[in-house]
Amino acid sequence: MPADIPKPPYEPEFAAFLDALPPPKDFTPELIPVLRDVQNSVSTLETTLAGEAYTHEERSVPGPHGPVALSIFRPIGIAPLPSGRPGIYYSHSGGMICGNRFTGFKEVLQWGKDVGAVCITAEYRLSPEHPFPVPLDDCYAGLMWIGEHLAELGIDPEYLMLAGQSAGGNIVAAMTVMARDRDGPKIRAQLLDSPMLDDRMETNSSKQFVGEGSWSRGSNVTAWTAYLGDSAGKPDVTALAAPSRITNAANLPPAFICAGSAELFRDESIAYAQKLWAAGVQVDLHIWQGGFHLFDYMVPDHPSSKGSIGTRAAWARRMLAKPVQSKL
């Protein structure tokens, strides 16, 4: 692949951050155990709850591949409306190969605080030990359990949002299709943060960032191969495995999609938004100048990161805040 493909530059502070990252730039299959150890050391219940006014309950729910652990967070000191609270169901990042249910979840608790939501996250099984459809099935089993226990959870059935980061965005996009086609719970909105959507890796941006960034083309090859095996990139891959392949996007819930301009998921995020728009679905699409993959998660104090984080929070409020009836 040519090394001289023109590409948008990183913001200077982001470039400095990436330059300081230790090698390697490509995560190979041999590094998956290391990635898991690192993620599991920083993404814990303790770090998630630090400074947060939430209770936590863990539930084990049935799934087609065995029990699935859900963490349920309820806000403290925010009274629910009679119809119930909003609900947010989250799927974590990690390329399907690493991470856990607390990875990236602290931001969700901030959204929940804004609207008094019950926030739930699933511990899905990881690839390559558990390839497609196992991670998706685990998360959808959690969604079905939530749908069957909305009253117990105190969630208003009209105010359930799905949110996913990176690989979790893949899972969320697929779950909204499953819920539509299988008469699942009503989904009010879907938030896809730098989603991993296209196994074919034929877009311009997927070829621009080779051997660089926080998530390189080589790392993406490792992830998709772990998830789909030899089928990755071939014609028989379904849209539930790679949502960019969707052919019927009608009647899906409103979506928020964001990515950095300097990351390989940029073009597939734009293309997915265009497919939703073509089907009549409302989409808020945001491409952040000079941002690498999950730049705002890794460099949260940069002005662009604050803008990105704030924009997601504002959209979540817009989707989940219940209207206040005026008193005349």
Q: Does residue 166 lie in a domain region?
A: yes
| Cis peptide upstream of residue 128 (ω within 30 degrees of 0) | yes
pLDDT at 80: 87
Q: Does residue 325 lie in a domain region?
A: no
**Domain CATH number, residue 54:** 3.40.50.1820
Q: Does residue 195 lie in a domain region?
A: yes
**Enclosing domain of residue 300:** 12-317
Q: Does residue 248 lie in a domain region?
A: yes
pLDDT at 324: 54
Q: Does residue 29 lie in a domain region?
A: yes
- pLDDT profile of the chain (328 residues), mean per 10: 84 98 95 98 98 98 99 95 96 99 98 98 99 99 99 98 99 99 99 99 97 98 99 98 99 99 99 99 99 98 98 99 60
CB 171 within 8 A of CB 91: yes
CA 263 to chain centre: 16
pLDDT at 328: 44
Q: Which residues pair with 122 in a beta bridge?
A: 70
Specify the residue for token string 């730098």: 194
Q: Does residue 24 lie in a domain region?
A: yes
Q: Does residue 233 lie in a domain region?
A: yes
Torsion of CA 69, 167, 308, 110, to 10 degrees: 0
CA distances to 28, 107, 175, 272 from 316, in Å: 35, 11, 18, 20
Indicate the number of domains in the chain: 1
pLDDT at 290: 99
pLDDT at 300: 98
Q: Which residues pair with 160 in a beta bridge?
A: 87
CB 294 within 8 A of CB 265: no
CA 39 to CA 19: how far, in whole Å? 20
pLDDT at 2: 62
Q: Does residue 327 lie in a domain region?
A: no
Ordered strands of the 189-193 beta sheet: 54-61, 68-75, 118-123, 85-91, 155-165, 189-193, 255-260, 283-288
